[in-house]
Structure 1
Protein backbone atom coordinates (compact mmCIF):
# COMPACT_ATOMS: atom_id res chain seq x y z
CA UNK A 1 0.00 0.00 0.00
CA UNK A 2 1.44 3.33 -1.08
CA UNK A 3 1.37 6.25 1.39
CA UNK A 4 0.43 9.75 0.26
CA UNK A 5 0.68 12.94 2.30
CA UNK A 6 -2.69 14.73 2.21
CA UNK A 7 -1.32 17.72 0.29
CA UNK A 8 0.09 15.41 -2.44
CA UNK A 9 -3.17 13.45 -2.64
CA UNK A 10 -5.07 16.71 -3.16
CA UNK A 11 -2.61 18.19 -5.64
CA UNK A 12 -2.32 14.99 -7.70
CA UNK A 13 -5.79 13.51 -7.18
CA UNK A 14 -6.09 11.99 -10.68
CA UNK A 15 -2.81 10.10 -10.20
CA UNK A 16 -3.88 9.18 -6.66
CA UNK A 17 -7.17 7.74 -7.95
CA UNK A 18 -5.52 5.91 -10.88
CA UNK A 19 -2.99 4.33 -8.53
CA UNK A 20 -5.81 3.19 -6.27
CA UNK A 21 -7.66 1.58 -9.18
CA UNK A 22 -4.57 -0.19 -10.55
CA UNK A 23 -2.59 -1.04 -7.39
CA UNK A 24 -5.25 -1.20 -4.68
CA UNK A 25 -5.84 0.76 -1.47
CA UNK A 26 -3.84 3.96 -0.92
CA UNK A 27 -3.06 5.38 2.53
CA UNK A 28 -3.34 9.12 3.20
CA UNK A 29 -1.38 10.74 6.02
CA UNK A 30 -1.95 14.08 7.67
CA UNK A 31 1.06 15.61 9.42
CA UNK A 32 2.71 12.18 9.42
CA UNK A 33 -0.24 10.39 11.02
CA UNK A 34 -2.35 7.83 9.15
CA UNK A 35 -5.68 9.51 8.42
CA UNK A 36 -7.61 7.71 5.68
CA UNK A 37 -7.53 5.04 2.99
CA UNK A 38 -8.81 5.29 -0.58
CA UNK A 39 -10.05 1.91 -1.82
CA UNK A 40 -11.57 0.76 -5.11
CA UNK A 41 -15.38 0.52 -5.05
CA UNK A 42 -15.31 -3.28 -5.41
CA UNK A 43 -13.18 -3.56 -2.27
CA UNK A 44 -15.49 -1.17 -0.41
CA UNK A 45 -18.60 -3.14 -1.38
CA UNK A 46 -16.92 -6.40 -0.33
CA UNK A 47 -15.99 -4.92 3.05
CA UNK A 48 -19.52 -3.61 3.56
CA UNK A 49 -20.99 -6.99 2.67
CA UNK A 50 -18.66 -8.80 5.06
CA UNK A 51 -19.27 -6.39 7.95
CA UNK A 52 -21.43 -7.69 10.76
CA UNK A 53 -24.69 -5.84 11.35
CA UNK A 54 -24.90 -3.46 14.30
CA UNK A 55 -26.92 -4.29 17.39
CA UNK A 56 -29.54 -1.77 16.25
CA UNK A 57 -29.84 -3.47 12.87
CA UNK A 58 -30.21 -6.86 14.55
CA UNK A 59 -32.90 -5.66 16.95
CA UNK A 60 -34.90 -3.98 14.18
CA UNK A 61 -34.65 -6.97 11.85
CA UNK A 62 -37.53 -9.47 11.77
CA UNK A 63 -35.21 -12.15 10.45
CA UNK A 64 -32.77 -11.84 13.36
CA UNK A 65 -35.53 -12.38 15.92
CA UNK A 66 -36.67 -15.59 14.22
CA UNK A 67 -33.14 -17.00 14.31
CA UNK A 68 -32.41 -16.08 17.93
CA UNK A 69 -31.13 -19.09 19.82
CA UNK A 70 -31.83 -18.96 23.53
CA UNK A 71 -29.72 -21.01 25.93
CA UNK A 72 -31.40 -23.92 27.70
CA UNK A 73 -32.20 -23.24 31.35
CA UNK A 74 -30.39 -25.26 33.92
CA UNK A 75 -32.17 -28.24 35.49
CA UNK A 76 -30.72 -27.43 38.92
CA UNK A 77 -33.18 -27.14 41.79
CA UNK A 78 -33.75 -23.63 42.99
CA UNK A 79 -33.95 -22.72 46.66
CA UNK A 80 -37.31 -21.75 48.07
CA UNK A 81 -37.84 -18.13 48.96
CA UNK A 82 -39.56 -17.44 52.26
CA UNK A 83 -41.96 -14.56 52.64
CA UNK A 84 -40.94 -11.74 54.96
CA UNK A 85 -42.72 -11.08 58.20
Structure 2
Protein backbone atom coordinates (compact mmCIF):
# COMPACT_ATOMS: atom_id res chain seq x y z
CA UNK A 1 0.00 0.00 0.00
CA UNK A 2 3.03 2.20 -0.13
CA UNK A 3 2.43 3.20 -3.78
CA UNK A 4 -1.18 4.31 -3.54
CA UNK A 5 -0.36 8.03 -3.92
CA UNK A 6 2.37 7.60 -6.54
CA UNK A 7 -0.01 8.04 -9.51
CA UNK A 8 1.23 11.57 -10.18
CA UNK A 9 4.62 10.12 -11.12
CA UNK A 10 3.24 8.75 -14.40
CA UNK A 11 1.87 12.16 -15.35
CA UNK A 12 5.19 13.79 -14.53
CA UNK A 13 7.08 11.22 -16.57
CA UNK A 14 4.76 11.73 -19.55
CA UNK A 15 5.19 15.51 -19.31
CA UNK A 16 8.99 15.15 -19.25
CA UNK A 17 8.92 12.98 -22.39
CA UNK A 18 6.83 15.65 -24.09
CA UNK A 19 9.31 18.36 -23.01
CA UNK A 20 12.26 16.35 -24.34
CA UNK A 21 10.49 15.78 -27.68
CA UNK A 22 9.72 19.51 -27.97
CA UNK A 23 13.36 20.38 -27.24
CA UNK A 24 14.58 17.94 -29.91
CA UNK A 25 12.14 19.43 -32.46
CA UNK A 26 13.19 23.00 -31.57
CA UNK A 27 16.90 22.19 -31.91
CA UNK A 28 16.28 20.46 -35.26
CA UNK A 29 14.36 23.45 -36.60
CA UNK A 30 17.09 25.83 -35.38
CA UNK A 31 19.83 23.78 -37.07
CA UNK A 32 17.91 23.60 -40.37
CA UNK A 33 17.24 27.35 -40.35
CA UNK A 34 20.86 28.14 -39.50
CA UNK A 35 22.13 25.92 -42.31
CA UNK A 36 20.10 27.68 -45.02
CA UNK A 37 22.03 30.22 -47.09
CA UNK A 38 21.15 33.77 -46.11
CA UNK A 39 21.21 36.73 -48.51
CA UNK A 40 23.90 39.29 -47.86
CA UNK A 41 23.02 42.37 -45.84
CA UNK A 42 21.13 44.87 -47.95
CA UNK A 43 20.66 42.52 -50.88
CA UNK A 44 17.29 41.30 -51.97
CA UNK A 45 16.84 37.95 -53.61
CA UNK A 46 15.77 38.18 -57.22
CA UNK A 47 13.20 36.02 -58.91
CA UNK A 48 13.98 35.42 -62.57
CA UNK A 49 11.23 36.37 -64.92
CA UNK A 50 10.52 35.27 -68.44
CA UNK A 51 13.25 36.45 -70.81
CA UNK A 52 12.39 39.06 -73.39
CA UNK A 53 13.64 39.26 -76.95
CA UNK A 54 16.67 41.22 -75.74
CA UNK A 55 17.48 38.51 -73.20
CA UNK A 56 16.81 40.66 -70.12
CA UNK A 57 14.59 39.21 -67.41
CA UNK A 58 14.27 42.60 -65.73
CA UNK A 59 15.74 46.08 -66.15
CA UNK A 60 19.26 46.42 -64.79
CA UNK A 61 19.59 47.51 -61.23
CA UNK A 62 21.01 50.80 -60.13
CA UNK A 63 23.96 48.84 -58.75
CA UNK A 64 25.08 47.90 -62.28
CA UNK A 65 24.99 51.52 -63.40
CA UNK A 66 26.79 52.59 -60.24
CA UNK A 67 29.51 49.98 -60.81
CA UNK A 68 29.95 51.25 -64.37
CA UNK A 69 30.21 54.85 -63.08
CA UNK A 70 32.87 53.80 -60.56
CA UNK A 71 34.88 51.95 -63.21
CA UNK A 72 34.75 55.02 -65.46
CA UNK A 73 35.79 57.30 -62.59
CA UNK A 74 38.78 55.04 -61.82
CA UNK A 75 39.83 55.10 -65.45
CA UNK A 76 39.25 51.39 -65.99
CA UNK A 77 37.09 52.07 -69.07
CA UNK A 78 37.40 54.81 -71.66
CA UNK A 79 34.61 57.24 -72.52
CA UNK A 80 33.46 55.36 -75.62
CA UNK A 81 33.16 52.05 -73.74
CA UNK A 82 31.42 53.85 -70.86
CA UNK A 83 28.80 55.45 -73.11
CA UNK A 84 28.20 52.24 -75.08
CA UNK A 85 27.81 50.21 -71.87
CA UNK A 86 25.54 52.81 -70.27
CA UNK A 87 23.36 52.86 -73.40
CA UNK A 88 23.10 49.05 -73.27
CA UNK A 89 22.19 49.10 -69.58
CA UNK A 90 19.56 51.82 -69.87
CA UNK A 91 18.00 50.60 -73.13
CA UNK A 92 14.45 49.28 -72.62
CA UNK A 93 14.13 45.52 -73.08
CA UNK A 94 13.18 44.46 -76.57
CA UNK A 95 14.50 47.54 -78.35
Q: TM-score, normalised by structure 2?
A: 0.22
Bigger-Rg structure (1/2): 2
Q: TM-score, normalised by structure 1?
A: 0.23
Greater relative CO (CA pairs within 8 A, separation 6+)? 2
More helix, by proportion: 2
